Amino acid sequence: MPIFQSLASGSSANCGILSDGSDGILLDLGMTPKRLAERLGELGISAEGIRCAVLTHTHSDHWKETTLSWMASKGIRLWCHESHAAHLRLHARAFQRLMESNLISHFQHDYPFRPGHGWDFYPIHLSHDCVPTFGFRCEHHAGSMAYLADLGTSDDLPWQQLGDLQALAIESNHDPEMLERSSRPVQVINRIRSDQGHLSNRQCADAASRVSRISGGKLASVLLLHLSRDCNTHQLALDSTRKHLASQISPEAVSVAPQDRASIPIRFGKAA
């Protein structure tokens, strides 16, 4: 049975692992190699079990130069968009090492790709102020999930790509009232709540509820990502999405991805 687990989620670092029980695929690589190795070790996973990493966008909490070097030393492939590659060529010396080792593959908007045996990824363009930013529909013969980590609005999501899912990992960044009361500069507050910023708890809940409806009752797990440390709480985020999904899935099926430890494992689809 496929499993997704967040290794870290928030403004400091973002990284998750998708596994079919054998090979693992990293979604983003915002952790240092030391912390990544520790977190994987806690889950009983070694670097030899990582097939590749897939990058959503180039904000610094989603990749680390030292982790690119670690990937090059381990022979781990990086999948990224050509625009991501152009940015990394300018800002990461380790990216050149990956290129020299023929460890870079590009995905394109609107075209599926296969980062690992048994997996098909469908890029989903997201509205965020790091252009381009992507989420992914991750298909396995046993089941499917979607990973939507950074987005300012769900209004322009390609909903036809989000039906028939068993699991959803989606941003629930902030509580609007806490954001307004925070000591953050006005321009930062405006950026976060804009269509190119981050989803509020209510926006997340609305999107999750819509995915549940179009998935025909198959959606069984929702993992809340990228919670703000200052402008949100785990309980506020959970209460919001659980309330909206109350008639669709059980409250226990909604969980939070913490910043400082791995999330609970999200199992989806059927066992082999």
In the chain, the domains with their CATH numbers are 3-267 (3.60.15.10)
Residues 6+ apart with CB under 8 A from 62: 14, 28, 29, 30, 55, 56, 149, 150
Residue 7, classed as helix, strand or coil, is strand
3-state DSSP helix/strand/coil % of the chain, to nearest 5: 35, 25, 40
pLDDT for residue 1: 87
Tell me which residue has tokens 């529909």.
Answer: 137
pLDDT for residue 103: 98
**What is the C-alpha to C-alpha distance for residues 199 and 149, in angstroms, rounded to an integer?**
9
Q: Are 58 and 29 in contact (CB under 8 A)?
A: no
Tell me which residue has tokens 């363009």.
Answer: 125
Helices 82-91, 93-100: crossing angle, 10 deg rounding? 120
Give the tokens for residue 8.
């870290």
List the chain pLDDT tens, one digit each, 272 residues.
899 999 999 999 999 999 987 789 999 999 999 999 999 999 998 888 899 999 999 999 999 999 999 999 999 999 999 999 999 999 999 999 999 999 999 999 989 999 987 899 999 999 999 999 999 999 999 899 999 999 999 999 999 999 999 999 999 999 999 999 999 999 999 999 999 999 999 999 999 999 999 999 999 999 999 999 999 999 999 999 999 999 999 999 999 999 999 999 999 987 65
Cross-strand bridge partners of residue 214 = none
Selection from 20, 67, 65, 17 nearest residue 43 by Cα? 17
Question: How large is the greatest C-alpha to C-alpha distance in the chain, in angstroms?
Answer: 53
pLDDT for residue 10: 95
Cis previous bond, 123, omega within 30: no
